[in-house]
Each structure stands twice: as structure tokens, then as C-alpha cells.
Amino acid sequence: MSLNALHTPCLLLDKKKLLNNIQRLNTHLSQFDVQLRPHLKTLKSVDAAHYMLEDPSAPCTVSTLQEAKQFAQAGFKDITYAVGISEHKLPEVLDIQNQGITLHILLDSFEQAQFVHAFCQENDCKLSCLIEIDCDGKRAGVKPDDPQLVAIAKILTSAELFSGLLTHAGGSYECHNLDEIRTMAQQEHHAVRVAADRLRLQHIDCTMVSVGSTPTALLGEGFEHITEVRAGVYASMDLVMAGLGVCRPQDIALSVLTRVIGHNREKNWLILDAGWMALSRDTGIASLQYGYGLICDEAGHIIPELCVNSVNQEHGIVALPEGLDLSHFAIGTLLRILPNHACATAAQHAGYQVIFDDEIDYWPRFGGW
Amino acid sequence: MSLNALHTPCLLLDKKKLLNNIQRLNTHLSQFDVQLRPHLKTLKSVDAAHYMLEDPSAPCTVSTLQEAKQFAQAGFKDITYAVGISEHKLPEVLDIQNQGITLHILLDSFEQAQFVHAFCQENDCKLSCLIEIDCDGKRAGVKPDDPQLVAIAKILTSAELFSGLLTHAGGSYECHNLDEIRTMAQQEHHAVRVAADRLRLQHIDCTMVSVGSTPTALLGEGFEHITEVRAGVYASMDLVMAGLGVCRPQDIALSVLTRVIGHNREKNWLILDAGWMALSRDTGIASLQYGYGLICDEAGHIIPELCVNSVNQEHGIVALPEGLDLSHFAIGTLLRILPNHACATAAQHAGYQVIFDDEIDYWPRFGGW
């Protein structure tokens, strides 16, 4: 099957690159006594998940209860829902758990621990709770030295609801080089180790000590006293990861297939049939600007100096540099666009056209909450 | 039914505001001898379209062939596909037309006119073609004084494929006040009138002369020699439109319902369960910054000074101003977020929770190409 038969715009997934990326993180982590718990929020595809996890009993991570439900239905058994829990979501969490799934939930306040505790009493059930630790001041979590940490762990432990600690070095996306990422990985590990040590002094043991982000998973070393590592975008990679130096642009497995639908001769612009609806509005990181994505030819080779400079809903505009003529890109020409942020671009599509050797397969994905 | 029963995040559509917004444009245009051709790309909902169009035979506009197929299936008969055509899409265009639909297509080059002409000869069919006119230098289209215009019109006319002209004042989104929008509407009208006059000198008549964007539709006057006006976001409105002065923030019919899922006490931040996946990455227009959206209480009243300052995939962060305490927003509190860009935010969801009086209805929407 040829790409020319596909309707544009659509999402391409290069399976060989996907498998290489998956293998690379597996190989790196195999040096250490730590388990990978892949985050399935990027691709939201059961087919892709089967390549990211050894088997359905292996642990995984999700960002929505919809993902938890879908992956539970697909046979996955050990799922962490890595977004702070609200009371209104607990009945749904229990429903999923009652299907024979271990669904770990996340919290970072005494208030949340109280309502989870009350819910479990009322429903005569146990839920597996992780306390989120803030390792970089970027979002949520309890600081490792916060007095609340012990109070939260105690109320959970008293009801046998406490499983351990989880942190996410989202700050790693703002690093400027690999050394800074290595330092961020140490900071991430240090934060949960300090928190676990404080709990141990109170005779509270952590069964799970979870860290992770793609940059710190790939560059982290040692992982002493850490039980598992989470990473998601490592499987597809994207321009943000390439910009950080975590992969090369040619490692990116995901791209948007588009056709040239017009020329603005006065301005030397190509008009593409991929706008923000196909690419997302994600412009990556301020310090790493590729517009709305780098341009490759139909075969996937990057065309130097070309990116999608601006977008409307269903139009992308590529300003050709001086010396490059519109005649090189006749109307109808197929191009591929590498995504700034794989999670965001993939979310704009219903599935993947999966390229492997000369075959094209289709993997559906899902969305929603 | 209460909002408290809804899973968060989800998309709310206030039907009363929707109907008011629809009525407002209808009333404005009823002063002039011009037809409204609503653009259905914002809401992509058959239910909403039935309120935007008088009846299914009334004209409408779409941005994808998927929309054309879906609205054709729902009974709509006169559809303009307002994105430049590529040769590969013509078989699908003909399929839709063969269902008894008039599907107008758009082009702006001699090359496109040639392949449409050849396709119609090969398939012994007629397609209705509009030539796109560039009125503001922002994207695609032939300039009104471009010699190509006559050449394109002639090849189309020779095969009875020519229906008229279409332009879009996308530049109106960059206006700074209502007077600038009025001037932009005049510029939009002038561009197609000049182009139509040039064709008339060649004895080529335009059955359709189509203009439009929500700002220029609402503020345009006269509409002499123009047959129809396109507008899409006018039905829901959004913060970009409010920022332009085209509506008030309280007119916005669309919002994302979210719950507080955490507090960062050190930074006085609320953590919400609506991140970019629920809101989109659209930050509106550079000169009108509301972060990722303005915050309203559960009832829809804007809370002054609050917006979503930053987002991750499933987390929104609201930095509370000094003097406003986290205790006002307990974990579990429901809030609504007004969208920067309705088209982008709505595209992140599978449907609308439609609020009307004390009832909540559900309207599905679709995506894809």
C-alpha cells in the first residue's frame, strides 16, 4: 500500500522507529534494579501498549479514568492513575478496581486522604494510594520535608490504604542540555528518597517509590531505593525531546501526512491541508522553536530549514526560504510534519496509519475522560 | 439534573446564550439583501446546526469533507467546502455530490482549475467551483487584480464549472477595535466586488459572491453585490471574540466544567482537572491574554482576575491573586473555564452537555477528515 492512497491529513506511526525507541529505554533501565511502568497517555492505543508492556500484568500509567477503563478492558491489570484524585471520581475508581484491576490513585493533601479514607469505610473497600511528592516546584505534590507528608501517610496507613510515593520531574522539559537532565534525575530521585526516609522513621514503609519523565528515565542512573520509572513520550518521541537532545529528529516515530493544496506566489508560501486541527496548537518549548512542526518529504527525510510557520484550523503555511521555489512542491505533493508534542498532536486524531516495511496497518486510539 | 452529576472535565453549552448569539447575527443580516451561510466547523454538531440554519435546504459551510459527509447524511443540501481542493479529494467530492448534495469547492490556481476540469471530463460530471479571493494577504487566494483570476474563471466557465467568488477576512481577528473591523469588512467586500467586476467585463457572471468571518459579518454593512455571508464562531463566541469587542465575555455559550483537584499552598495555586487536553493549547491572540481561559464559578459568573495560568495534559494551574485564599476553593469545587478559541476547545471533546433551564441534554460532535 502506498501513502498516496491515504486521505490527508492523517497520522503516521513508523513502527520500526517506535520499536527502536521502546527498546532503547528498556535496555537503559535493564542496567538497574528498577521496573518500567510505561505511561500510556501519549498514544492511547491498545495496540501500541502491547509493544510498550511485556505482558498485560506488567504495570502501566494513565492520565484519565477513561484510559484506565479502556486498558482494563484490554486486559491490563496494574494501573496507576497519575492525576490527583477528587472525591467525585472515587465511585468510578472502585468500579474499575472491582473488575480485578489494581488501580493506584494519587493524592497530595490531608483533605484528599480524609475523603478517600471515609469512602473506603463507607464502601468497605481498600484503594491503593500514592502520595505525590513535589520534586521541582512545577505543579502539584507535597514537598519532601512538608509536615503534611507524615500526617497524610499516617491516616492512609491506619486504614491500610498506603502504597508509596510518586514524583514527576516535569521540570526536565525545561533543561538546556543532557547534564542538566542528569542533575534533574538526581533531584527527582533525591526527593522521593528523602520522603521515604522520613516515613521510615515513622515505621511507614513504601511498597512503591515511583519516579519518571522521559528525559529523566532515559538519562537517570542508579535508581537506588526506587522501585519503578514512568515514561510516556519515549515510545514516539517528538521535537521537544529532540530539542532537549534526548533523541534525534530522525528517531521521531510520529508524523502528520499532509498534501500541498495551494501556493501563495507573492509570498513564496506553500499552503498545506494540515492546520492546527491536525497538528494541535502546541508550539513546543519557547527556547526550541520549530513553528508547528518540521517538514519531511513523503519518505520521511527532513527537508532542511522548512517548518510550518503558521496555522489556521485546516490550513498550514510554510514560508519557503529564498532560493527554494514553489515549483518543487506541486499541488498534491505529499509531505510529513514532525510534531512538537506527540501527546498533543496524536490527540487530534482517531488513530494511526502504522507503517512497517511496505505495509500500512491501522491502530485506533481513544480520547475522553 | 445538577452539574455535580457530570464527570469532569466536560464541555458545557449554554443553549440560551447560543440561541441569543444566533439571533443576533440573523437580526443584523436581515437588514441587508444577503444570505447567511453558517460555518459549521466550530461546533461540528448536527443538533447545533439545526438552530443555525433555518432548514436543511439552507446553505452552510464546512472545513473538511468529513463535515460535508456528516451534514449531508443529516439532510443538509447546499454545502461549501471552504478549503482549497486537492486532486486526491475529487472522487470523494463527487461521491457526496452524487447523494443529491450541492457541494461547492474552492480553488485559487490555474493548476487546480485544470485538474478539476480534467476530472469532470473523465467522469462526465459537473462540480460547482468558487475562486478564492485574497482580501487581506493572510493566507490563500488570488488577489483581485491578479491576471490569473480571469484565466482561472475562463477555464472553469468553458466547462460550466464556475459558480463565483469567495473571500475570508481572517485579518479581522487582528483588529484592535470595532472601527478597524468595520474597515476590514469594507476591504473584504471591496476585494470580491473588484474581482467580480473584472470578470463581468469578460462576460463571466458570478452566481455566488461570498464573504465572511464572525467579526466582519456582525459589523459589516451594506453588503451590496454580495450574495452571502459566512460566519462560524458567532454561535458560541469565545474570548478572542470578546477581546475584539465583538461580544461580551458573558455572551460566551461554551465552557469547560472542571473540578479543583489540589492546592499548592506554598504558591497559592489551585490545581484543576482540566489541562490542555480539555482546553486545547490555544492561547488566543497575543494582544489579548487570558492564559488558557477565564474562570467562572459553577453558575457561570466570571470570577474577576482568575484565569488558567498554565496547563499540563490533564492539569490546569490557577495562580490565585494575593488576598484570595485557597480555602475559597475546596477540593472538589466546580468551576467553568471560558475558552480562548471555541473551535479549538470544542475539538478536544466528543460532545456537549447542553444546559437549558434546569435540564441537561447531550449533543454529540464529530471530528476527523
Closest by Cβ to B264, choosing from A85, A140, A259: A140
A83 Cβ under 8 Å from any chain B Cβ: yes
Q: Say whether A108 and B262 touch across the interface (CB within 8 A).
A: yes
Fold type of domain A32-233: TIM Barrel (3.20.20)
pLDDT at A54: 83
Residues A132-161 have pLDDT tens digits of 999 999 889 999 999 999 999 999 999 999
Distance from CA of A31 to the nearest CA of B (A): 30
pLDDT in tens, A190-208: 999 999 999 999 999 999 9
Whether B283 and A280 lie within 8 Å, measured CB to CB:
no
The predicted model gives A18-23 an average pLDDT of 98
Rounded-to-integer distance, Cα A180 and Cα A170, Å: 13
State the cell numbers at A272.
498545506
Picking from B9, B86, B277, the nearest residue to A347 by CB comes out as B277
Which ipTM value was assigned to this complex? 0.96
Answer yes or no: do B332 and A86 touch at CB < 8 A.
yes
Find, among A220, A223, A247, the residue nearest to A235 by Cα.
Answer: A247
B19-66 residue pLDDT tens:
999 999 999 999 999 999 999 999 999 999 999 998 989 999 999 999
**B174 contacts in chain A (CB < 8 Å):** none
Which residue, among B277, B279, B317, B362, would best test binding to A if mutated, counting the most A CBs under 10 Å from its CB?
A: B277
Which residue on chain A is closest to B64 by alpha carbon? Answer: A314
Q: Do B139 and A317 count as a contact with CB atoms less than 8 A apart?
A: yes
The model's pTM is: 0.96
The domain at B32-234 falls in which architecture?
Alpha-Beta Barrel (3.20)
Mean pLDDT in residue range A172-183: 94
Compute the distance between CA of residue B188 and CA of residue B217 in angstroms, rounded to an integer: 10
Q: pLDDT tens-digit profile of A84-119?
A: 999 999 999 999 999 999 999 999 999 999 999 999
Q: Is A277 on the interface with B (CB under 8 A)?
A: yes
Chain B residue at shortest CA distance from A41: B313
Q: By CA distance, what is A140's nearest residue in B?
A: B264
| B252: pLDDT strictly greater than 90 | yes
In 3D, which of B9, B12, B3, B57 has the Cα closest to residue B363? B12
pLDDT at A356: 96
Position A56 scores a pLDDT of 87
Q: Which residues contact B315 (CB under 8 A, 6 or more apart)?
A: A83, A84, A139, A140, B261, B271, B272, B273, B275
> B107: pLDDT confidence band, cut at 50, 70 and 90?
very high
Of A283-287, A296-300, A302-306, B138-142, least confident by mean pLDDT is A283-287
Q: What is the enclosing helix (H) or strand (E) of A81?
A: strand A78-84
**C-alpha separations of B49 from A75, A352, B62, B354 in Å:** 40, 30, 11, 14
Q: Which of A198, A259, A243, A256 lies closest to A225 in space, CA to CA?
A: A198
User: Is pLDDT above 90 for A241?
Assistant: yes
pLDDT, mean of residues B59-84: 97
Nearest Cβ partner for B262 among A109, A264, A282 = A109
Is A7 an 8 Å CB contact of chain B? yes
Q: Cβ–Cβ of B344/A112 closer than 8 Å? A: no
Q: How far is B214 from chain A (nearest CA, A)?
A: 15
Tell me how far apart the alpha carbons of residues B241 and B252 are, in angstroms, rounded to a whole number: 9
A3-10+253-364 against A32-233: fold identical = no
Mean pLDDT of B69-76: 97
Q: How far is A183 from chain B (nearest CA, A)?
A: 22
Encode pLDDT of A344-361 as tens digits. 999 999 999 999 998 999
List the single residue in A7, A83, A350 with the smallest CB-CB distance to B273. A83
**Taking CB atoms and an 8 Å limit, are B348 and A350 in contact across chains?**
no
d(CA B76, CA B59): 8
pLDDT mean over A77-89? 96
Distance from CA of A302 to the nearest CA of B (A): 23
Please check whether residue A344 touches B, CB under 8 A.
yes
Residue-wise pLDDT tens digits, A36-63 = 999 999 999 999 999 999 898 999 999 9
CB A234 within 8 A of CB A184: no
Confirm or reject contact between A87 and chain B (CB < 8 A): yes
The pLDDT of residue A1 is above 70? no
The domain locations on chain A are 3-10+253-364, 32-233
**pLDDT at B124 exceeding the cut of 90:** yes
Using a CB-CB cut-off of 8 Å, the residues of chain B touching A63 are 277, 313-314
- Cβ–Cβ of A109/B331 closer than 8 Å? yes
Topology given in CATH for the domain delimited by B3-10+253-364: Lyase, Ornithine Decarboxylase; Chain A, domain 1 (2.40.37)
Question: CB contact, 8 Å: A347 with chain B?
Answer: yes
Percent of chain B past pLDDT 90, that is, above it, reads 94
pLDDT in tens, B207-234: 999 999 999 999 999 999 999 999 999 9
B172 and chain A in contact, CB less than 8 A = no
Q: Which residues of A touch B317 (CB under 8 A)?
A: 139
| Interface contact B86, partner A, CB < 8 A | yes
Would an 8 Å CB–CB cutoff place A4 in contact with chain B?
A: yes
Give the tens place of pLDDT for each residue, B187-214. Answer: 999 999 999 999 999 999 999 999 999 9
CB contact under 8 A, B86 and A41: no
Averaged pLDDT score across all residues of chain B: 96
The string of pLDDT tens digits covering residues B275-332 is 999 999 999 876 667 899 999 999 999 999 999 999 999 999 999 999 899 999 999 9
B348-363: pLDDT as tens digits: 999 999 999 989 999 9
A270 inside 8 A of chain B by CB: no
